């Protein structure tokens, strides 16, 4: 039986990489692997996996540096051998920590890149050095999309070393069995309104500022329209420069637990992902699995995901940062109930192709390649 150490940020933080690693761990356990997670101090078991939470100093840069050191020391105390795989999530910090430990105790290492690590390495020489060190010291690198694999290759990593393993969606959680009215009741939202949903942070890269500009125009066209925001968004960033009438139609739900996100998704009439960079787009899969039509930026790994879900000519992929395009796409969907239903049904046709079991099986194949059992 193989033992796997998952290193990096983890559940219950409800962000893409943490969801990816949390769901992956559960499927690896079902496949018969023993899994141990080494993560930050907030980490908790998702089900019954072993989780070690390393106490880090909660300050910018120092937090990452302390995790690098402490997680490396933890790995060095473990019984690592040829049947042990270390899978570090993010080439920077976790990948760096595992690579340092590997210099002392040789073991098979697989680094999974989620996007921000690659983006940072492409813009910053310091992160570029860490990324290169991690990639060079690993047996294999996993990219969560074909787009991300191409970006990794631009950083000098051989394409033959990089395998694409995309994320999935938990259809037990995200589905259409939750009545929309019931979901709105649970979240204390009025039933007879239309809702646009944004999930993410206030960072520029997530594109919230462009959605807010589009929403100003949409609120004049649709008097019953409200904007739901789920994520870590400071109030001062959210309402800055907005008229009171517009601000009153924005509902900040804050950070929602992963287990509650299916209810948040089912509240929405449309989901908008206006990112300037997105390596894959797990939240799009969650929206699709919930039967919610979406508008998304035509950037990064989003187009390849949307092609498989909706075909090549999905009309609601928009140029990133284009306020007018976001406005027109949202307006067309909001004004046409039958179109939203049609798109919802189309989403549900193909979303089951993106399963976490498939992610785990493809990851296990990469693990076997890393220890030389497959080529």
Structure tokens, 201:
């942070």
Q: Is 190 exposed, middle or buried (0-12, 13-18, 19+ CB in 10 A)?
A: exposed
Tell whether the model's pLDDT for residue 138 goes beyond 90: yes
User: Is residue 12 reached through a cis peptide bond, with omega within 30 degrees of 0 on the bond before it?
Assistant: yes
Structure tokens, 18:
């943490």
358 compared with 52, residue with greater pLDDT:
358
Are the C-beta atoms of 42 and 12 separated by less than 8 Å? yes
Whole-number percent of the chain with pLDDT over 70: 95
Altogether, the residues listed in the chain come to a count of: 375
Q: What confidence tens digit (pLDDT) does each residue in 202-242 have?
A: 678 899 989 999 999 999 899 899 999 998 777 666 667 67
pLDDT of residue 1: 61
CA distance 123 to 155: 11
Spatial neighbors of 369 by CB under 8 A, at least 6 apart, are 139, 140, 163, 375
Tell whether the model's pLDDT for residue 154 goes beyond 90: yes
Sheet containing strand 34-40, edge to edge, reads 50-54, 34-40, 3-7, 84-89, 109-113, 140-143, 162-164
CA distance 260 to 98: 33
* Contacts of 177-184 spanning 24+ positions with Cβ under 8 A: 178/262, 178/263, 178/266, 178/290, 179/266, 180/266, 180/267, 183/262, 183/263, 183/264, 183/266, 183/267, 184/267
Query: What is the pLDDT confidence band of residue 73, given thresholds at 50, 70 and 90?
Result: confident
3-class SS at 80?
coil
CA distance 54 to 314: 44
Tell whether the model's pLDDT for residue 327 goes beyond 70: yes
* φ, ψ for residue 197, nearest 5 deg: -115, 135
3-class SS at 356?
helix
Tell whether the model's pLDDT for residue 108 goes beyond 80: yes
Q: What confidence tens digit (pLDDT) does each residue in 183-211 have?
A: 999 999 998 999 999 998 767 889 998 99
pLDDT of residue 237: 64
Superfamily of domain 3-168+355-370: Glycogen Phosphorylase B; (3.40.50.2000)
Q: Where are the domains of the chain?
A: 3-168+355-370, 180-353
354-363 mean pLDDT:
95
* φ, ψ for residue 318, nearest 5 deg: -125, 155
Helix, strand and coil percent figures for the chain, each rounded to 5: 50, 15, 35
Dihedral angle computed from the Cα positions of residues 337, 341, 342 and 346, in that order, rounded to the nearest 10 degrees: 150
252 compared with 52, residue with greater pLDDT:
252
pTM, two decimals, is 0.91
DSSP labels, 170-212: -TTTSSS-S-HHHHHHHTT--SSSEEEEEES-SSGGGTHHHHH
pLDDT of residue 15: 82
Are the C-beta atoms of 172 and 195 separated by less than 8 Å? no
Spatial neighbors of 92 by CB under 8 A, at least 6 apart, are 64, 117, 120, 121, 127, 130, 131, 134
227 DSSP β-pair partners? 196, 250
CA distance 238 to 47: 35
Which one, of 109, 117, 124, 121, lies nearest residue 156 by Cα? 121
341-359 mean pLDDT:
92
Tell whether the model's pLDDT for residue 375 goes beyond 70: no
Q: What confidence tens digit (pLDDT) does each residue in 119-136 have?
A: 999 998 999 999 999 999
352-356 mean pLDDT:
91
Tell whether the model's pLDDT for residue 374 goes beyond 70: no
Structure tokens, 364:
């296990």
236 compared with 297, residue with greater pLDDT:
297
Q: What confidence tens digit (pLDDT) does each residue in 241-277 have?
A: 677 778 888 998 888 888 899 999 999 999 999 999 9
CA distance 247 to 257: 24
Tell me the average pLDDT of the chain. 89
Query: What is the pLDDT confidence band of residue 83, given thresholds at 50, 70 and 90?
Result: confident
351-362 mean pLDDT:
94
Q: Evaluate whether 3-168+355-370 and 180-353 have a shared fold.
A: yes
250 DSSP β-pair partners? 227
Query: What is the pLDDT confidence band of residue 59, given thresholds at 50, 70 and 90?
Result: low
Which one is the CATH code of 180-353: 3.40.190.10, 3.40.50.2000, 3.40.718.10, 3.40.50.720? 3.40.50.2000
């Amino acid at each position: 039986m193989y033992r796997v150490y998952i290193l990096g940020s983890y559940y219950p933080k409800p962000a893409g990489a943490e969801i990816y690693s949390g769901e992956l761990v559960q499927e690896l356990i079902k496949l018969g692997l023993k899994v141990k997670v080494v993560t930050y101090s907030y980490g908790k078991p998702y089900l019954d996996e072993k989780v070690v939470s390393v106490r880090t100093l909660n300050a910018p840069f120092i937090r990452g540096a302390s995790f690098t050191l402490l997680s490396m020391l933890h790995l060095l105390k473990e019984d690592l051998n040829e049947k042990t795989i270390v899978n570090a999530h993010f080439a920077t910090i976790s990948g760096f920590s595992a690579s340092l430990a590997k210099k002392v105790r040789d073991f098979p290492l697989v680094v999974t890149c989620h996007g921000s690590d690659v983006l940072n390495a492409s813009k910053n020489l310091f992160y570029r050095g860490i990324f290169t060190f991690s990639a060079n010291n690993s047996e294999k690198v996993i990219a969560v999309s074909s787009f991300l694999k191409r970006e990794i290759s631009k950083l000098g990593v051989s394409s033959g070393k990089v395998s694409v393993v995309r994320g999935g969606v938990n259809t037990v959680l995200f589905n259409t069995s939750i009545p929309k009215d019931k979901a709105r009741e649970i979240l204390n939202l009025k039933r007879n309104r239309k809702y646009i949903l944004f999930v993410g942070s206030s960072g520029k890269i997530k594109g919230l500022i462009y959605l807010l500009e589009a929403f100003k125009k949409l609120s004049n066209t649709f008097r019953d329209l409200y904007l739901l925001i789920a994520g870590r968004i400071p109030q001062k960033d959210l309402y800055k420069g907005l008229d009171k009438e517009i601000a009153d139609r924005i509902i900040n739900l804050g950070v929602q637990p992963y287990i509650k996100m299916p209810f948040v998704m089912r509240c929405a009439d449309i989901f908008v992902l206006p990112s300037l960079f997105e390596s894959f787009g797990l939240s799009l899969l969650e929206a699709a699995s919930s039967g919610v039509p979406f508008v998304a930026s035509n950037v990064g790994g989003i187009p390849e995901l949307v092609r498989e879900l909706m075909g090549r000519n999905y009309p609601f992929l928009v140029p990133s940062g284009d306020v007018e395009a976001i406005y027109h796409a949202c307006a067309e969907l909001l004004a046409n109930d039958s179109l939203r239903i049609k798109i919802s049904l189309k989403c549900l046709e193909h979303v089951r192709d993106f399963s976490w079991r498939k992610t785990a099986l493809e990851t296990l194949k990469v693990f076997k390649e890393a220890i030389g059992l497959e080529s």
